[in-house]
Amino acid sequence: MEQGNPQKRNRLFIVLSGIFITNAILAELVGVKLFSLENTLGFEFEPIRIFDATPLGLNFTAGVILWPFVFISTDIINEYFGHKGVRIISILAAALISYAFLLLFVVTQLAPSDYWVSLYATTPAGTPFDINYAFSLIFTQGLAIIVASLTAFLIGQLVDVYVFHEIRKRTGDKHIWLRATGSTLVSQLIDSFVVLFLAFYLFKDPAHRWSWPFLLSVGLLNYCYKFFAAIVLTPVLYIAHFFIDKYLEIKK
């Protein structure tokens, strides 16, 4: 592929890196919330039973809303800046996520202001409410979950880059959808199960470990969502390529 305007390429890399890192950090921060897809959309859904595990509803972490944007920006950076570009922003993102969690941990150790606590001492319904406890509960996660999430993130990025370039070797500059969507589907298959295995099995004491049927069920359900999101967002890649090629003054 023609490289295009060097100065504009530098600007593009900065913008794409910003989009990637911002969404990666936000996905980690909001991922503590679980939401019900069927209740959000207002429809009833029969719980799914997979591998003889506990029936599962369409419940996901809020982070899944943001991860598709991470996938797209990864594929675009891969396309225009290669594996080195993706490696740089992946390591930087992991470092900044770690920094964010470290700072959040430090902040939660600060003694709360009496005024702040009293200001939100009750809910609108009059129920007692401890805002400092809620703040700490939301913005801090178990160390095992943080380590598992970062490990899965880095493994997923490395797999994504490898698969992307293996497909490109065989197809050249054709079939953008195949290398972009294909690499995402493979990397997220691994990511979906690595994070659950580490956080809820390997790093858990035996008494609180998830059973294998339940772990596989949750992982498969999450992967199905990511699979669907990757397919639906494929046209966005073509739109992005069109405007980026014009911006970089690439002639084909």
Chain segment 176-191, per-residue pLDDT in tens: 888 888 888 888 888 8
Distance (Å, rounded) from C-alpha 75 to C-alpha 170? Answer: 17
The Cα–Cα gap between 62 and 37 comes to: 10
CA atoms of 116 and 113, how far apart (whole Å): 5
> pLDDT at position 52, please?
67
Band of pLDDT at residue 252, cut at 50, 70 and 90: low
Residue 53 belongs to a domain: no
In a domain, 1, yes or no: no
Residue 52 lies in a domain: no
What would the mean pLDDT of 104-129 be, rounded to a whole number? Answer: 92
Whether the Cβ atoms of residue 26 and residue 192 lie closer than 8 Å to each other = no
Instruction: Give the CA radius of gyration of the chain.
Output: 21
User: How many angstroms separate the CA atoms of 156 and 110, rounded?
Assistant: 35
Residue at 206 is within a domain: yes
Residue 95: predicted pLDDT: 93
175 inside domain? yes
Q: The dihedral of CA 89, 181, 232, 196: what is its sign?
A: negative
Helix (H, G, I), strand (E, B) or coil at 60: strand
How many domains would you assign to the chain? 1
Distance of CA 193 to the CA centre of its chain: 13
Map residue 63 onto helix, strand or coil: helix
> Where is pLDDT greater, at 34 or 123?
123
Q: Does residue 44 sit within a domain?
A: no
Could you read off the pLDDT of 52-84 as tens digits, one per residue?
667 777 778 888 888 888 888 988 998 899 888
- Tokens linked to 63: 């982070």
Does 41 fall in a domain? no
pLDDT in tens, 192-228: 888 888 888 888 888 878 888 888 888 888 888 888 8
Residue 20: per-residue pLDDT? 93
Average of per-residue pLDDT values in the chain: 85
Q: What pLDDT score was predicted for residue 42?
A: 84
Domain carrying residue 185: 6-36+60-248
Top-ranked range on mean pLDDT: pick from 36-50, 88-102, 189-203 = 88-102
CATH number, domain of 81, equals 1.10.1760
* DSSP symbols for 199-233: IIIITS-GGGPPPHHHHHHHHHHHHHHHHHHHHHT
Residue 213 lies in a domain: yes
